[in-house]
Amino acid sequence: MVMIEAFVRPEKTDFILACLLEQGFPAVTRVSVLGRGKQKGLKANAVYYGELPKELIIMIVEDKDEDKVVEAMMKSAKTGDEGAYGDGKIFVTPVSSAYTISSGKAEL
């Protein structure tokens, strides 16, 4: 199993989730967050925004589904220009175990 964490533009979140659902991946956690990446915030006129609103999408999927989920996220989150700042970042980390609280079973 792997955990996929995607920091994306808030205005793209609903489209990303719809694409994931269409691909057969309904189980997600969605959290509104503030942060900054390489762009180091945003300056608009005389106002500087140190952190920008993003959405964090968290999923746990089987190893075999990692590429499919990442590809769906990348295609649906991208706004246009190759390498443009602000479209987001996806992190993938291994998950050794998952437990269902109500049953106590080790399962996804």
What residue segments make up the domains of the chain, in order of their start? 2-106
Q: 61: helix, coil or strand?
A: strand
Of 50, 51, 70, nearest to 59 (Cα)?
Answer: 70
Give the predicted TM-score (pTM) of the model.
0.86
Q: What is the pLDDT of residues 40-81, one digit of tens each?
A: 777 778 777 778 899 999 999 999 999 999 999 999 999 887
How many CB atoms are closer than 10 A to CB 8? 23
Write down the CATH number for the domain with range 2-106: 3.30.70.120
**Cβ contact 25:78 at 8 Å:** no
Structure-block tokens of residue 98: 């998952």
What are 83's two structure tokens?
């390498």
